[in-house]
A and B are shown apart, each in its own frame.
Chain A
Amino acid sequence: MIPIDKQTLIKKAMARDTKAFTELIQLYMKDMYRVGLAILMNDEDVADAIQDTILTCWEKMHTLREPAFFKTWLTRILMNKCYDILRKSPKHLPLEETAYNQPAPEEVDNLELKEALSTLNEKYRIVMILFYSEGYHIDEIATLLKLPKSTVKTRLQRGREKLATYYGIPKRKGKK
């Protein structure tokens, strides 16, 4: 269940209350940024994707299929926008060669996350962010990414292994 205050904001936003919509989106801005970053690894591009996502969400708000799944809906739109940018922009390097931008001094909080993401390629990054940062279940990630559950599990496992290697964390023995 989504909390009552969010539910109220969703209802108001669906009724085209711009103030409520703004408030609602603000609640998810950091979630959106993390997901956008996992795909694009570039603040400028993430900003563009988020801007487009906000506009699309507003346009489509009254046709939201299931208000209880607002966050999933928002994430799906954002991911589509990010992939659109990836497809259209020739400046993007192959994913394995992608490096994160140096953050502005006031954004040092993001350093740790960006460093972790930079060690992975996109297919692992997005799964790791959706699972660890956004708290989606494997089933939900599989639906969002249109992947089999087994692939999501494998990517999570590989992502963990790559990070473990990078940070020098010993591998666990036994159960995966």
Chain B
Amino acid sequence: MRKDISIIFKSEITLPKVVQKKAHLAFEEIKNKEHDTMKNNTSEKRTSSVRELFKKAPVWAAAIILAICVLVPTSIGLAKGGFSLYQRMHQTTTEEWLDILADYSAIPADTCGYSRDLTEEEATRYEELQLAYQTTDISPKFRIRYVDREADVTGEGLIMRLDDTNLIIQLPAAPLSDEHLLELIDFEQNISYSMRRNNMVEDLGGTTVWKKMEDLTIKEIERYYLIYYGANTHTSGGYNRRLSTEERAQYDKLLAAYEVGSAHPQAEIIYIDEPEQFTGEHLAFCLSDGRYYLPEEPLSDEDILQIIDLDKKAYYSILQLNEQYIMGEREHMPRRE
């Protein structure tokens, strides 16, 4: 019987055209959104000319997309006692990443690209070095510099210059050396990562919260992850009752204060193992179902701040642990024993 039913339920199907069409629309929307995000990431940083950077930037936009692709280790193997991309990127502080993005955004260019295409040999070597860059501590001796006057074109290393409104990375006519290719890889990696770091900071609620969270050790990060998501219930962070209108308004107010560093809880929330342990008198977070248990009485400011604090720490923990996973530093998420 099972066999017969299996055949019916496993039979080959064809995706209806309407399904394919709607999926295609979703993918297009994502591509467009991502392009807009790239533009916005650079648009609010400095001058009005900066705002134009990505406006007509098909060449650079493509390079950025490429850079985002290269951010991911081409080999998914975990760094075994060696070097990972995560370690490389975390040698630079968040402030430095944001500065890299701001500096780059300040160059008044419409497009950015290479002065010539890479040859087939150069492209192959690029890929090899890209893998080495992600898994070893190999680095270029120099970094690509932006030079805005002829007189500044001195020394070694690749440069980029404005040609009219195009930002051009000048490649020599001779075959590119490993040093040159590493400079390109390093540059693209840094720009794409600075954008991603900027997104993460904004997602969390701004630099003040991010900097505060950066004090958490990896052990603490894992702990918050397990507290919040360890129940694996799909409902982590939910409440046992609805917030009242007043509580919701106070939550928004305190969230804004928390994000600028002017409000924080005095103590950590109380944890309970099972819902049955909730007395109804004090706010608690239940480990077995990942939910907040709110007292029947209106929440105090301290209660709300404890909720905000745990939400932020949990969110930061997932961002950090996913970074480690993406960049070959960890194989899977922490799991409860």
A and B: bona fide binding partners: yes
Report the Cα distance A132→B333, complex, angstroms. 29
User: Which B positions have Cβ atoms within 8 angstroms of A?
Assistant: 1-2, 4-6, 8-19, 21-23, 25-27, 29-31, 34, 65, 68-69, 71-73, 76, 196, 199-200, 203, 229, 232-234, 236, 315, 318-319, 322, 325-326, 332-333
Q: Which residues of A contact B23 (CB under 8 A)?
A: 25, 29, 47, 50-51, 54
Shortest beta-carbon contacts, A-B, top 10: A132-B9, A54-B26, A51-B22, A47-B22, A109-B14, A133-B9, A47-B19, A12-B72, A47-B18, A43-B16
Kindly list chain B residues whose C-beta atoms are within 8 Å of the C-beta of A163: 5, 8
**CB-CB < 8 A to A43: which residues of B?**
16, 18-19
The smallest C-beta distance from B94 to any residue of chain A, in angstroms, reads 16
Given contacts A110-B16, A143-B232, 14 further A-B pairs with CB under 8 A are A8-B72, A11-B76, A16-B199, A19-B65, A25-B27, A50-B22, A54-B23, A62-B322, A63-B315, A64-B322, A133-B10, A160-B2, A169-B1, A172-B1
Closest A residue, CB atoms, query B30: A58
Cα(A113)–Cα(B13), bound, Å: 8
Q: Are B325 and A110 in contact (CB under 8 A)?
A: no
**Residues of the B chain whose Cβ atoms lie less than 8 Å from the Cβ of A113:** 8-9, 11, 13
A7 at the interface (CB under 8 A from B): yes
Give the chain A neighbours of B11 by CB distance below 8 A: 109, 112-113
CB-based contact A68/B332 at 8 Å: yes
Given the complex, which residues of B lie within 8 Å of A54, measured CB to CB?
23, 26-27, 30
With A11-B76, A15-B196 as known contacts, state yes or no: A128 contacts B326, CB within 8 Å: no
Q: Which residues of A contact B (CB under 8 A)?
A: 4, 7-8, 11-12, 14-22, 25, 29-30, 33-34, 43-44, 46-48, 50-52, 54-55, 58, 62-68, 76, 103-104, 106-110, 112-113, 116, 128-129, 132-133, 143, 146, 160, 163-164, 167, 169, 172
Question: Could you write out 8 A-B pairs with CB less than 8 Å apart?
Answer: A16-B199, A29-B23, A33-B15, A46-B19, A109-B14, A116-B9, A132-B8, A160-B5
Which of A51, A76, A128 is in CB contact (< 8 Å) with B26?
Answer: A51
Known: A33-B15, A67-B333, A106-B14. A7 touches B72 (CB 8 A): no
